[in-house]
Amino acid sequence: MTSVSEISCLLGTLTSAIEVFKAELARQRLPEPSLCTSKPHPIDDLSYIPPPAMYEARRIAIASLNNLKLLLENPVEAIVNTVRESGEIQGMRLTADIGLHEVLDDVPDPEVGESIEVIANKTKIHPMKLEGVLRFLAYRGWFRETKPGYFANNRRSHTLKMDTPGYRIVKYLGNLTFKNMGKLPEALTHPDASFRMATDVAHTAFNLAYNTDLPFFGSESWTAQHPDEAQKFALGMGGLGVCSDNGVVHDFPWVEYTKDAVVDIGGGQGTLACSLAAAHGEINNFIVQDLPVTREPAEKYIASKGLSARVRFEAQNFFEPNRRQGSGSYVFVIQKVLHDWNSEDGAKILRQVRECLLDGKSKLLIIDPLLSPATLSREGLSANESLAMLQGKNHYDPVPPPPFIPRDFGDNWMNAHSTNVVLIALCNAFEHTYKSMSDMLTLAGLKIKKVNATR
């Protein structure tokens, strides 16, 4: 076998992807992103949909950069940095709590930013402690240090603007996730084998972290007993949903399939329904189904989008018969719900939907990532060849990974893999592979008809 330089191969892949990305920016008359500005870039807007070639070029570039880093960095330094990544999480929580984005936005010159002394005075935090945290976050790319001791916003920090999706993710999910993950090793190595090997929702890292016998989800759960925490969780999950809704909204033929309404089962505060309603004026009715405790934040969110006439909330426990059964022709949607339950409970949810499909008038769309093994190959089409096939195309189809790039493009799919670990800690559940999703559907008397990729 001819020896292939992995570094050279990945560098070539990176170069090809960057050239396509730059060409797409030029074609759209957009400037290149910059590390030296406080202004957001047009491609950062949540409503922006990158063309297929640009989207895939970015995925390939990020995957190449990550694998080049793995080849070049010192493993001992990597483990030290990884152990200390909790500082980044807690630092971001701090910036959300003190409204740092707003502090840095309300200065005479946002490009210069503000001195640490003034920031510390406004936030009432010790200046040297705060400077250490902000400098660390600047090195991690979340803010800029424009000159010694002066900090400013950057592209990333705009995601922490108050009441934006990113802010809600950090504010309302950060601590929950951090506490649960802190107990994951104890849960997986618990001295009681019945706890350690359990797959139900009440023997988890969450139970250890919050010292409760109740599951996190459900009508009789920890969130049911703490409605304020349930609302925070809904807001945080709404933030996550908005960040991934664009591809779902634009890469599936909603208008073609929808007749009476789109019914979002377990739809939380209604972020997906509102995104769909805003994008598809031809569809008149959207129904967000969830537990009664979610009604208030859902109706508030829907009203804030000016969509109360087309999007409405409906109380529904998805383990019980669906109130829409036999009442019309619907597209039932289950987005990021099944991964919260083991296969047996997921099948119970699906059986209730199956009853609504028996008359042949309605369809079910499951929106969930499908995980792949973390394998890579020396073989495959080059980035040049793959990206050339996407030029001028508007319909999105993912390209195969180039040599030495993982099947799901590494860091680009890290959200799904990290969510998988979060779910294990929270509720003994998992993101699905194609096989595990198919097996769960079989338990419910259903089968996969088609898989649609989305950006």
pLDDT, tens only, 41-86: 999 998 899 999 999 999 999 999 999 999 999 999 999 999 999 9
Position 389 pLDDT exceeds 80 = yes
> Sheet holding 363-367: strands in order across?
311-315, 286-290, 261-265, 330-335, 363-367
Q: What is the pLDDT of residue 406?
A: 94
Model confidence band, residue 187 (pLDDT cutoffs 50, 70, 90): very high
CA dist., res. 215 & res. 125, Å (int): 37
CB 302 within 8 A of CB 270: yes
- The packing angle between helices 165-182 and 414-427, to 10°, is 50
Helices (H), 183-308: 184-188, 193-196, 205-210, 222-225, 227-250, 254-257, 271-279, 295-304
Q: What is the pLDDT of residue 235?
A: 86
CA dist., res. 294 & res. 268, Å (int): 6
Phi, psi values for residue 180, rounded to 5°: -65, -45
Q: What is the pLDDT of residue 320?
A: 97
Model confidence band, residue 293 (pLDDT cutoffs 50, 70, 90): confident
Model confidence band, residue 2 (pLDDT cutoffs 50, 70, 90): low
Q: Are strands 150-152 and 114-115 parallel, antiparallel or unpaired?
A: antiparallel
Q: What is the pLDDT of residue 4?
A: 86
Position 245 pLDDT exceeds 90 = no
Position 185 pLDDT exceeds 90 = yes
Dihedral sign for Cα 188, 194, 200, 206, please.
negative
- Classify each residue of 82-115 as buried b or exposed e, where b means 16 or more C-beta atoms within 10 Å of its C-beta: eeeeeebeebbebbbebbbbebbbebeebeebbb
The residues pairing with 262 across neighbouring beta strands, listed in sequence order, are 286, 331
Residue at 438: amino acid letter: S
* Mean pLDDT, rounded, for 182-204: 97
**CATH numbers and ranges of domains, the chain:** 6-76+374-388 (no CATH), 97-160 (1.10.10.10), 228-372+409-443 (3.40.50.150)
CB 51 within 8 A of CB 401: no
Residues 104-111: contacts with CB under 8 Å, at least 24 apart: 104/38, 104/143, 104/151, 104/152, 104/153, 104/157, 105/153, 105/161, 107/152, 110/38, 110/152, 110/153, 111/37, 111/38, 111/146, 111/152
Model confidence band, residue 246 (pLDDT cutoffs 50, 70, 90): confident
Q: Which of 149, 38, 156 is nearest to 88 (CA)?
A: 156
The vertex-411 CA angle with 92 and 43, nearest 5°, equals 70
In percent, the amount of the chain with pLDDT more than 90 equals: 88
Model confidence band, residue 36 (pLDDT cutoffs 50, 70, 90): very high
**Residue pointed to by tokens 């007993």:** 225
Those residues whose C-beta lies under 8 Å from the C-beta of residue 387, and which sit 6 or more positions away, are 16, 17, 20, 53, 56, 57, 60, 399
Q: What is the pLDDT of residue 1?
A: 52
CA dist., res. 345 & res. 350, Å (int): 9
CA dist., res. 41 & res. 39, Å (int): 6
Measure CA 342 to chain center.
20
* Mean pLDDT, rounded, for 115-127: 98
Position 392 pLDDT exceeds 90 = no
Q: What is the pLDDT of residue 238?
A: 80
H or E segment and range at residue 264: strand 261-265
CB 353 within 8 A of CB 364: yes
Cβ count near 325 (within 10 Å)? 16
Position 219 pLDDT exceeds 90 = no
pTM: predicted TM-score of the whole model, two decimal places:
0.90
Helices (H), 42-85: 52-72, 75-83
Model confidence band, residue 244 (pLDDT cutoffs 50, 70, 90): confident
What average pLDDT does the structure give for the chain?
95
